[in-house]
Amino acid sequence: MRDYMKFYIDGAWVDPAPGAGSADVINPATEEPAGRIAMGTAADVDAAVAAAKAAFTTFSRTSREDRIALLGAIMGEYQKRQDEMAAAITEEMGAPAWLSSSAQAALGMAHFNTAMEVLKGYNFHEERGTTAIVREPIGVCGFITPWNWPVNQMACKIAPALATGCTMVLKPSEIAPFSGYLLAEILHAAGVPKGVFNLVNGDGPTVGSAISKHPDVDMVSFTGSTRAGIAVARDAAPTVKRVHQELGGKSPNILLDDDGFADAVSRGVSGVMMNSGQSCNAPTRMFVPAARMDEAIGVARATAEGWAPGDPNGNAKMGPVVSETQFDKIQDLIQKGIDEGAELITGGVGRPDGLEKGYYVKPTIFANVNNEMAIAKEEIFGPVVSILGYDNLDQAIDEGNDTEYGLAAYVQGTDMEKVREVASKLRAGQVNINGADIDFMAPFGGYKMSGNGREWGDHAFGEFLETKAVLGYQPRQQAAA
């Protein structure tokens, strides 16, 4: 049992303020408590913000070289504990060991490395005639992060914030908080100055809201559901702080009618099954030529049945979903798909055979879905793929865009001219062609109700910087010369 009953504030582990509660952290594979955390209050947020505000005065004026060295030290400490980080992620949210090691924990290191490389050449100062355009750290940042890719979503905020000279208060998900505590220990060991990074645990309505409302928080960055993102924006509005949001998705995956179709179907299904469907950019709506629906069904069934859930500490390809609440939501939507007349190809309601305990969901494929069904409109956040048929590409594009979300989209086909044309017409912040590899320099964020602003790479830096124009920076005659 892990016992995390302190918060990291002003460079030290401190007891919560009076009135704090506690909560058990449930291992989703066993449904048993794996640890206990303190649940903070607005008073804990006040203390953390005060520390961050005091630290900003000096940290905001550190040199580029100082911050490059700090990021390097963080990477050195992270590497020492990367295996421990992977094990914690498996325990707290159920990602299978292979995924926790190769992707979940590895992404944290990648974001710190990317921020360091961007920082080396980032232009914080330029001159236009007699005017200087200066990009300065925005101030104290509040971070509210989710449970599905926990260290990835912490690191992709923390790394650019540190690189640009900001200070911060982090509220990790109370459902999967272990990785946040480990990350705080890593940052401390790396020598992050006191007050620059602070961690307060708690729930969204209490700690998350206190961060969003706080008058001394200059920007808040939230990753999570669209519903919660709206609440964060409302809380932040009276203080007119910057609000960055990376929210939900219902991503279309348009498969062209050409060679490589079977591979495209299999790749699309696997893209949903990885992480038990708990990825906001998962390609959950697969659009296939109507004439090839039967072929798609056969490949999708075989692929999904190869993603058998099981013990995440063993050799299973897929683990459980994160919680009972998520399990129940997914079950309800699978049942709704059946009730609305979608063709259930494999999977369905209930736990997989032989798994009587743990929040395991059957890999599920629905075919002959239409865009008005709940399973095509709502973010299920589980291992469920909906296959929709189309008669022509214009129909596929129109229906692909017919969603309130716009985080990601996918196009697969061998005719690159046609693939690029389809990609250009999709209303999404990131379009993936033919299973392209991850690119840490590619901006990540959404259109419409999938959020605003961008994370990852050099685009992330802009979220943490204010722009100042200094007129008369150069004397007029010197500028003319």
Structure tokens at 8: 């990291």
**Between β-strands 451-452 and 167-171, what pairing exists: parallel, antiparallel or unpaired?**
unpaired
Cβ neighbors of 400 (< 8 A, separation 6 or more) are: 252, 254, 285, 287, 409, 426
445 close to 246: Cβ distance less than 8 angstroms: yes
Phi, psi of 106 (to 5 degrees): -65, -30
Structure tokens at 19: 């009135």
Q: Exposed, middle or buried by CB within 10 Å (0-12, 13-18, 19+), for 19?
A: exposed
Q: What share of the chain is helix, strand, coil (3-state, %, to 5)?
A: 45, 20, 35
C-alpha 296/C-alpha 313 separation (Å) is 32
- Measured between alpha carbons, how far apart are the two ends of the chain, in Å? 70
Q: What is the largest CA-CA distance in the chain?
A: 82
C-alpha 2/C-alpha 11 separation (Å) is 21
Of 387, 175, 414, give the one whose Cα is nearest residue 284: 387
**Between β-strands 219-223 and 140-144, what pairing exists: parallel, antiparallel or unpaired?**
parallel
C-alpha 167/C-alpha 90 separation (Å) is 29
C-alpha 201/C-alpha 9 separation (Å) is 11
The DSSP code sequence of 358-406 is S-----EEEES--TTSHHHHS---SSEEEEEEESSHHHHHHHHH-SS--
Active site residues: 246, 280
C-alpha 146/C-alpha 121 separation (Å) is 31
- Going by the DSSP 8-state scheme, the letter that residue 286 receives in this structure is E
